[in-house]
Structure 1
């Protein structure tokens, strides 16, 4: 699971022995050898997820879950990342990025890696996980193992549940090859004989509606014991001849087509963003073809037929030994026993936050920092619940990026509006794959009287903010929630994120000014504590603070930087870290996914370590720490270190001002992750990753397991 070095690393060992200032002057930090490719780096992250499925120390169902998550991740990789790269190449718009690789080279590397990864995925499923599930009395019964009672039940199920919704399509001049929905399950059937009209069709396509479950649990009365499942693909394959009466089915082969699922809306040419997005959502189902998955027993001539129909080449075909959409196997996880899964835990709910009618009093007692999912997301909901019902609350403002249509947050905003509060919601319609639900959210809020705006044209609103204005005596007091994650209670149980609840007047004023930017017009606001994209976050928070650490190191003072985020691609920030490293600043980066910085290059990044933590929860916190000669500062943020976050989105970064909370955030959000020797992967100079293992005599430490034990 390594990435081959794609560019030579210059020999800078002599320069490394010189003083910091000359080193900077002799090295061209624009050299492509100092950067990794973002597409390959993202694929490397997906391979680390696959490695979790291969980890025999994990519970069985957790391994299966990681395998299915890998499948889902790869779908998005093809639908969005690879599709965009292929589109740019097709329209001659692709250019080498900072790593210097030509886009066609990148495609070749990715194709080779993806084919190898998919082979690993299905080998793991068939050779290891399914047999282990069988040992636990969880069976997937193949067609050649069906008993007579099972066959009778399956035939009945097919007639009652499957056949009525299938539409077999014979291929001839009057029945051209159908336009298939993105990622739908389909079957190519070969036929012999004449149909009722005397036609010799030879080929037919059978699309399986998405409404049908991909795995079906058989009733206990037709099975010996345990939980017994069959695949929908097996049922349709078995009954292929039934779909074409009087003809002989000589072959039935499943396949799945993946399409470009990115949406394009020219925001400068549309009058109503919501209307334009509704039109684009339909086209997502029928975007350009990017990948074809087929059963590995499909004959070559049929593969060539499909490739020709979809305009794909041999590098875009993936032969699989099993279901073409493993993600739809998630329902199997429902039959897991306790020993099949990670130990259960209950997120901690601090004693002073257990009453939803006491949130204002609790926040008045001091800032509150919550570390999700180890600590409950409920206080955030309690905060909004009290605000929606408190007669002294006069206004609520909130950003919504990914919330979900069945959300208590949404219900409470509606309730607040109906209770006479002035409620404003900044709904980001363009949150990828949540566009449809966000359109529904916006419509429901508007019907309730909420003022809904869609943010800023050309800039996604990714900031996570809630502002409550409450009348207390003769004054109006403001209460604020700021977060690194979304207002989605489900995600708060699966993602690691921070929430800050505060009534600090300066933080509240900064938050108020950003809301004014989002709903009104004017020059960028001057803020006291918050940094926000696209204005100050990159230059004033990141670049200036990095330079301060560099100056401290050059002056013989202690200097240290720790960043934790999801992805890191911004070249200017990378170069500032290279210069800081040259000056002797100790730099630790905890980057879950893409990292275009190369650590460990002599004379350039000797003092930089990059690690990725992949585990039970999705690492989602963004934390930026600067030593500042012992007077350290720590910022949480909604923003990753990517160009899109720093220049094309509205993002915020907020400081942890309370000294005790800041120390806690440092320990729980950074320090413990730097000690992880079990779920951490160290990035090598060539862009590959090596998983850490405890040294001899060293106790195994997982940051996530530690936090579960400490906080839950």
Structure 2
């Protein structure tokens, strides 16, 4: 299936360009030919002789290429072929029934799909759609499910007179047709659907709800996530989502939506790191702080969990940090263009990846920051396209308890000795005398053990926080 070549088409009606390109997709000229090296040479020669065959772009590969078909893999009767059942867990602090908005107003909550149910997100949207005090719902949509409960809730919100703003990304590869369909439905329902220009993709995952409270003041409720508003992928991709009414974060989220509405004025942000105008510089500043700490002889480290590390500038920055004595640890699932463990320039960098039952999809950035550890969760990989040509959001985990929660789950992945592979693609072996750790199984077990009583210590918003722990989070 060919992708749509619209990246350089920066004028005219983008929606019309995509509709036209989609109509040509089935009959378009092939860009390359992927073939199995074991196929009969006579068959390959016959294919090459076809008029539309891209003979200059022959790519030798494996036997099978359309991995998307694996999502519909046939079912077999042999139970040994399957993982044990891991049903989505209820959340320890979000109510199973009743108002989610009220619970979010009290304190922040972290959601960890697929270990915990994504239904909390769709429930929140349905609640907002019918709550008479909710005046507006704003959301960014990149990829949605084919029978999207998220969009259906937005349609209901528009029907109930809410001001619904949807930033719909039409250039989500191979989801263009689905997104066009839902965009049309939303527009017909009266929603304000915003399309970004061809040179800019909105990859961030943001939800903002405005509600008039009992004192007649308007408060904002937000959901920040590393994963799409997609019920289907939420069962397969590991992500982190933050429900919050913290004004420090909702104020910045409001500014991001204002930018997406007019795309002219760069918003002043205090806590969010947002590409394409502030994520790269913000990350550079955080790395520079670690470099200064290392040069003073103080503890300095960076831990990054990403899908890809490709940007030359960020790689050079990590090399510089390593040379200064900053310990850098990378958990990279996919593309990694950095060479760890090399004398002088990267001897303080180590890297491994994790591939298991669920697709590791969340991005987490951790900085020692002089003992006041900073933890950011993000939709952005360290690729040039994410830092410079997409709207991406890295959000800080400000609540101390939730910050420790993210850190604990990250530490499980750092210590995986069952599914982790090192930079040389060799399995990471457990140390002698230590039990093997399979991070995804350990994560499920740990989240299953989170009881409501364990989290009652978290103070409601507006009340005095607990005293800070002196326990350090070591790298």
Q: CA deviation at 1:288?
A: 2.5
2:208 aligned residue (467, 481, 485): 467
Other-structure match for 1:619: 360
In 1, are the aligned partners of 2:95 and 2:103 still within 8 Å (CA)?
A: no
| Farther off after superposition, 376-385 or 334-343 | 334-343
Cα deviation code 1:392-432 (max 9, x no counterpart): 00000000001123011010000000001010100000001
Q: CA deviation at 1:324?
A: 8.5
2:55 aligned residue (300, 312, 317): 312
**1:445-594 mapped onto 2 (5 Å cutoff):** 445-472=186-213, 473-540=215-282, 542-594=283-335
Distance 1:421 1:607 in 2: 53
Cα deviation code 1:203-247 (max 9, x no counterpart): xxxxxxxxxxxxxxxxxxxxxxxxxxxxxxxxxxxxxxxxxxxxx
Q: CA deviation at 1:284?
A: 3.1
Question: Structure 1's 330 and 363: CA in aligned 2 closer, same or farther, altered over 3 A?
Answer: closer
Query: Secondary structure of the residue that 1:413 maps to in structure 2?
Result: helix
Distance 2:166 2:23 in 1: 26
Distance 2:118 2:68 in 1: 27
Q: CA deviation at 1:355?
A: 3.8
Other-structure match for 2:87: 346
Distance 1:529 1:428 in 2: 25
Other-structure match for 2:446: 710
Q: CA deviation at 1:294?
A: 6.7
Residue 159 of structure 2 is aligned to residue 418 of structure 1: yes
Q: CA deviation at 1:503?
A: 0.5
Distance 1:419 1:396 in 2: 12
Other-structure match for 1:678: 418
Other-structure match for 1:8: none
Gaps of 5+ in 1: 1-181, 183-259
Distance 2:328 2:315 in 1: 12
Other-structure match for 1:273: 14
Query: Secondary structure of the residue that 1:372 maps to in structure 2?
Result: coil
Residue 381 of structure 2 is aligned to residue 640 of structure 1: yes
In 2, are the aligned partners of 1:405 and 1:441 still within 8 Å (CA)?
A: no
Q: CA deviation at 1:608?
A: 0.2
TM-score by length of 1: 0.60
Gaps of 5+ in 2: 449-475
Q: Which structure has the bigger radius of gyration? A: 1
Q: CA RMSD in A?
A: 2.1
Cα deviation code 1:485-510 (max 9, x no counterpart): 10001111111111100001121110
Residue 433 of structure 2 is aligned to residue 697 of structure 1: yes
Other-structure match for 1:385: 126
Other-structure match for 2:185: 444
Q: CA deviation at 1:264?
A: 2.3
**1:96-107 mapped onto 2 (5 Å cutoff):** none
Distance 2:379 2:67 in 1: 31
Name the one with the larger helix percent: 1
In 2, are the aligned partners of 1:405 and 1:438 still within 8 Å (CA)?
A: no
In 2, are the aligned partners of 1:357 and 1:382 still within 8 Å (CA)?
A: no
Cα deviation code 1:530-568 (max 9, x no counterpart): 11000110112x111101001100001100100111111
Question: Structure 1's 631 and 336: CA in aligned 2 closer, same or farther, altered over 3 A?
Answer: farther
In 2, are the aligned partners of 1:263 and 1:281 still within 8 Å (CA)?
A: no
Question: Structure 1's 418 and 660: CA in aligned 2 closer, same or farther, altered over 3 A?
Answer: same
Distance 1:464 1:319 in 2: 34
Query: Secondary structure of the residue that 1:424 maps to in structure 2?
Result: strand
Question: Structure 1's 609 and 513: CA in aligned 2 closer, same or farther, altered over 3 A?
Answer: same
Distance 1:444 1:396 in 2: 16
Distance 2:203 2:110 in 1: 20
Distance 1:545 1:343 in 2: 41
Q: CA deviation at 1:709?
A: 1.8
TM-score by length of 2: 0.89
Cα deviation code 1:434-478 (max 9, x no counterpart): 011000010011111111011244110111100000011220111
Question: Structure 1's 363 and 515: CA in aligned 2 closer, same or farther, altered over 3 A?
Answer: same
Question: Structure 1's 351 and 585: CA in aligned 2 closer, same or farther, altered over 3 A?
Answer: closer
Query: Secondary structure of the residue that 1:701 maps to in structure 2?
Result: coil
Query: Secondary structure of the residue that 1:629 maps to in structure 2?
Result: helix
In 2, are the aligned partners of 1:397 and 1:425 still within 8 Å (CA)?
A: yes
**1:60-99 mapped onto 2 (5 Å cutoff):** none
Distance 2:142 2:133 in 1: 28
Distance 2:57 2:183 in 1: 44
Other-structure match for 1:21: none
In 1, are the aligned partners of 2:33 and 2:54 still within 8 Å (CA)?
A: no
Question: Structure 1's 657 and 326: CA in aligned 2 closer, same or farther, altered over 3 A?
Answer: closer
Other-structure match for 1:662: 403
Question: Structure 1's 617 and 329: CA in aligned 2 closer, same or farther, altered over 3 A?
Answer: closer
In 2, are the aligned partners of 1:356 and 1:379 still within 8 Å (CA)?
A: no
Distance 1:491 1:382 in 2: 17
In 1, are the aligned partners of 2:110 and 2:402 still within 8 Å (CA)?
A: yes
Question: Structure 1's 574 and 328: CA in aligned 2 closer, same or farther, altered over 3 A?
Answer: closer
In 2, are the aligned partners of 1:295 and 1:324 still within 8 Å (CA)?
A: no
Q: CA deviation at 1:347?
A: 1.6
Distance 1:516 1:682 in 2: 43
Distance 2:292 2:4 in 1: 43
Cα deviation code 1:169-202 (max 9, x no counterpart): xxxxxxxxxxxxx4xxxxxxxxxxxxxxxxxxxx
Q: CA deviation at 1:696?
A: 3.9
Cα deviation code 1:14-57 (max 9, x no counterpart): xxxxxxxxxxxxxxxxxxxxxxxxxxxxxxxxxxxxxxxxxxxx
Question: Structure 1's 314 and 269: CA in aligned 2 closer, same or farther, altered over 3 A?
Answer: closer
**1:29-48 mapped onto 2 (5 Å cutoff):** none
Q: CA deviation at 1:292?
A: 4.9
| Farther off after superposition, 345-354 or 307-316 | 307-316
Question: Structure 1's 265 and 696: CA in aligned 2 closer, same or farther, altered over 3 A?
Answer: closer
In 2, are the aligned partners of 1:265 and 1:280 still within 8 Å (CA)?
A: no
Number of matched residues?
Answer: 444
Question: Structure 1's 682 and 292: CA in aligned 2 closer, same or farther, altered over 3 A?
Answer: closer
Distance 1:468 1:511 in 2: 10
